[in-house]
Amino acid sequence: MSIFVIGDTHLSFSTDKPMNIFKGWDDYEFRLKNNWQKLVTENDTVVITGDISWGMSLEESEKDFEFLHNLNGKKIILKGNHDYWWNTAAKMNRFLAEKGFDSIEFLHNNAFRVENTAIAGTRGWFFDAEKENIDKVLARECERLQRSIDTAKELGGEIAVFLHYPPVSMHGTCEPILNVLLQNNIKRCYYGHLHGGAIKGALNGEKYGIEFRLVSADYLEFCPLYISSK
C-alpha cells in the first residue's frame, strides 16, 4: 500500500476550460491517466491537493469525478482555490454515494491513516490569495488545519500535511499556516497551486525543519509522486 500525491488536475470534461492553451498542458488528461495507471495499483492511495475540476457545481463536475474514480487506487481530495463545486461535507459525500464514486474521499476537517502515515491537510492560504476577508478566511484555514492534525494524531503514525497553497515560497511566507506546522512538529508538507513561471519561486527542500515539495500536475509532468513511509 503506497501513497502518491499530485495536485491541480484542472479537469474540464463538462466545461469549456481548455488547459492546453498553456505551455506543457497538451494531452494532459491522457498523460495523467497513462502515468497514473502505470504507477498506482488498486491498493494504493493518491492525495490530490486541490484544483480538481473546473466545474461550477458537483453536477457539472461529475465527468471529472468519474475520470478520477476510474483510475487505480483510493483518492483523497482537498480543496483548491478553483474548486467552485466544493460544498458541505454532507452534500459532497452524498454526491459520491449517489454516483457510486466509492474510491474518492474528501480531506475536510478530518484525517486518514494509510500504513504508517497519517494524512492531514486543508486548502491553506497564501500571500498572493484574494485579499477580501483575508483575516477571517486565514483564521478559518488555520483552525481547519489544526483540527485535521489533531485527528491525525489520534490515528497515530507520522503526520504528513497536504495543502493547496504553498505556506512558504521564495517570495513570501504565510506565517499563521507555517506556525501551525511548526507548533505541531510537522516534518513533511506537500502543496500545489504554482504553475508556469511561478514554479521558479517554489520551495523544494527543507526549511524550518520541514521538507516542502511542490506537486502541481504540470510541475510533476502529470506523474503522481510516490511518498515513502518513514
Convert the pLDDT of each residue in 32-49 to its tens digit.
Answer: 999 999 999 999 999 999
How confident is the model at residue 133, as a pLDDT?
Answer: 62
CA torsion, ordered 199, 119, 8, 164, to nearest 10 deg: -60
Reduced to 3 states, what is the DSSP secondary structure of residue 6?
strand
How confident is the model at residue 169, as a pLDDT?
Answer: 87
How confident is the model at residue 3, as a pLDDT?
Answer: 97
* Single-letter amino acid code for the residue at 17: K
Number of domains making up the chain: 1
How confident is the model at residue 15, as a pLDDT?
Answer: 87
How confident is the model at residue 51, as a pLDDT?
Answer: 95
Average pLDDT, the chain: 93
CA 107/CA 50 separation, integer angstroms: 10
Cβ atoms of residues 117 and 1 within 8 Å: no
How confident is the model at residue 2, as a pLDDT?
Answer: 94
Q: Note the pTM of the prediction, 2 decimals.
A: 0.94
Q: CB under 8 Å to 134, separation ≥6 — which residues? A: 125
Which residue carries 504507477 as its cell? 39
Q: Which of 79, 226, 194, 230 is nearest to 148 (CA)?
A: 79
How confident is the model at residue 44, as a pLDDT?
Answer: 96
Q: Which residue range(s) make up the domain with 128?
A: 3-227
10-residue stretch averages of pLDDT, the chain, 230 residues long: 95 86 87 97 97 96 97 97 95 97 97 96 78 78 97 97 94 92 98 91 94 97 85
How confident is the model at residue 217, as a pLDDT?
Answer: 96
What CATH number does the domain containing 73 carry?
3.60.21.10
